[in-house]
Structure 1
């Protein structure tokens, strides 16, 4: 489950959250009731924007992420049901080569969800490795909007140069770009400070969505450089990063204590204060409650300045997504 601020698509109001079902890589059916409870808690707290992707839960769990999200939406009967907005990202798979393949992908996502997708997004740009492939996929994305199959269109992992090019392409077809997702956090300021994406998005009327705002959990304060570490590649990454972010975590901890908030709530609120829509994950009711605690208040200018300074001085940064373009 992922948290966000309110997002408004053309002709449609959306509430405050997003669901990114990357959590389903470790999914088993015993989690169904727990995930339904998380979904219910979110919607009942005016958290009604849910984000997934057609590449989440692939392989043995092919399409399971969208299927579950559709089921949770259908079975929820409480207040705010009419405001639920579902977003998905369509992967630029190497076998998707035509505009019709993207339209088919969008229709397949809608079938798994049991309803039309509200916001359809290009999961990543192929500009870094197969620029010839991207044009047709973008045309298919715009086709979904023109055919009335979606209410909004978004992008993910695009830099300012590519974003401007795609924006112009869509303007010529009368298709607005509603959102852009990039990796953004106190440990990944690159898209905003170096690429200047926030300014470009503001100029173009695009809302910037910050995925991985807690840096895969580094900014939660739950992990020490002495361990224990998560398993696999994530654990290896933590071993490399944690020793170099002591000053940032110390600053984050001090602000959290003075605010009577958790470190993750402060890190998430920092993203909100920067004018982005942060989407931290949650796969339990406890985590969802903690994420909700990041809303309804704001850090003051001095606290933001302290965190900004600490972020600049860290020795280690999060590795950037390999698909992120310039």
Structure 2
């Protein structure tokens, strides 16, 4: 293991590397490709290379695949389970064949069912960090978190968190059982958690923040120059950021960020990840290829000054319209 900096995630005792690995793209999701073709052998090699570089914080979910992602991770970490920190998520109701993921379910019974299934798929007897993937609006969050709390008491889960939730929900949940982390999409192109005061709430309560898609679903890599560059069966085709006039407005902003990256002689993706780290958060860029994994992890060595951070944020100020992070935002609790 390298000396990748370790940071406290929240205030409940969990320590993680300053950058994690998002694993969703390694298997796709619900029959859709995510960021192109997947290759199991290369995906496992990516997880192993991450570990060699100190990146042992893996992020998955039962929805990814479904189930195949957790099973892939189980295979990759076989024999070294206690050397990895595994975060997984639940909340989209599915049967054991992966069918029926149309609605969210945070009921006590489903929490237990989903956790037991993830434990089997991961081939482990504990989950380091267990998130509610999306809020179930028909179940009080207190009921869901109480059930998650029971999993902690049973030793099946070590820490708990929520994904894509607003300040009021966070406060209500935290009263039932201390949250370790909240996960939301966050990048130079997606800062709604700042605009709505969510990050301030987390700071006040001592809850960590995990930023998924810190490269804007691959947009900030600069490799996509036209919407048509995205394969027809890639889910990004349906995201507002990648559509029509909005896409080209975003490209103009990206070109300004690229100028700064060139001045600093770093890849634009590294600059974007370094910005998230400089803000005090833990990014989990997703990749399934060793080449990009090495590039992403090296971003953790880049130190940005306060002036650098301010300059980046002046290019894309808070409130800049860059396109919603989902075509349908109904599952996002703001």
Q: TM-score of the superposition, structure 1-length normalised?
A: 0.85
SS state of the match for residue 14, structure 1?
Answer: strand
Tell me, yes or no, if the aligned pair for 1:92 and 1:137 is still in contact at 8 Å: no
Cα shift at 1:136? 3.1
- 1:29-44 matches, cutoff 5 A: 31-44=39-52
Q: 5-14 or 206-215, which moves further after superposition? A: 5-14
- Separation (CA, whole Å) in 1 of partners of 2:135 and 2:104: 15
What runs of 5+ residues in structure 2 fail to find an aligned partner?
Answer: 94-102
- Separation (CA, whole Å) in 2 of partners of 1:310 and 1:95: 37
Cα shift at 1:248? 2.1
What runs of 5+ residues in structure 1 fail to find an aligned partner?
Answer: none
Q: TM-score of the superposition, structure 2-length normalised?
A: 0.83
Tell me, yes or no, if the aligned pair for 1:248 and 1:307 is still in contact at 8 Å: no
Tell me, yes or no, if the aligned pair for 2:209 and 2:282 is still in contact at 8 Å: yes
User: Do the aligned partners of residues 216 and 297 (structure 1) sit closer, same or farther apart at CA in structure 2, a change above 3 Å counting?
Assistant: same
Cα root mean square deviation, aligned: 2.7
**Structure with the larger helix share:** 1
The answer to whether structure 1 residue 66 and structure 2 residue 75 are counterparts is: no
Cα shift at 1:250? 2.0
User: Do the aligned partners of residues 120 and 4 (structure 1) sit closer, same or farther apart at CA in structure 2, a change above 3 Å counting?
Assistant: farther
- Separation (CA, whole Å) in 2 of partners of 1:17 and 1:283: 13
Tell me, yes or no, if the aligned pair for 1:255 and 1:303 is still in contact at 8 Å: no
SS state of the match for residue 77, structure 2?
Answer: helix
- Per the alignment, residue 88 of structure 2 pairs with 88
User: Do the aligned partners of residues 4 and 37 (structure 1) sit closer, same or farther apart at CA in structure 2, a change above 3 Å counting?
Assistant: farther
The answer to whether structure 1 residue 24 and structure 2 residue 38 are counterparts is: no
- 1:152-231 matches, cutoff 5 A: 152-168=159-175, 170=176, 175-192=177-194, 194-225=195-226, 227-231=228-232
1:200-223 CA distance string (max 9 Å, x none)? 111111101111111111111112
- Separation (CA, whole Å) in 2 of partners of 1:242 and 1:30: 25
User: Do the aligned partners of residues 8 and 157 (structure 1) sit closer, same or farther apart at CA in structure 2, a change above 3 Å counting?
Assistant: closer
Tell me, yes or no, if the aligned pair for 1:103 and 1:143 is still in contact at 8 Å: no
The count of corresponding residues between Structure 1 and Structure 2 is: 307
Tell me, yes or no, if the aligned pair for 2:141 and 2:173 is still in contact at 8 Å: no
- Per the alignment, residue 143 of structure 1 pairs with 150
Tell me, yes or no, if the aligned pair for 1:244 and 1:315 is still in contact at 8 Å: no
- Separation (CA, whole Å) in 1 of partners of 2:38 and 2:270: 28
Tell me which of the two structures has the higher relative contact order, counting C-alpha pairs closer than 8 angstroms and 6 or more residues apart: 2
Tell me, yes or no, if the aligned pair for 2:9 and 2:208 is still in contact at 8 Å: no
- Separation (CA, whole Å) in 1 of partners of 2:319 and 2:43: 35
1:277-321 CA distance string (max 9 Å, x none)? 111111111111111121112222222112111112896413144
Q: Which of residues 265, 280, 289 is equivalent to 2:285?
A: 280
User: Do the aligned partners of residues 253 and 98 (structure 1) sit closer, same or farther apart at CA in structure 2, a change above 3 Å counting?
Assistant: closer
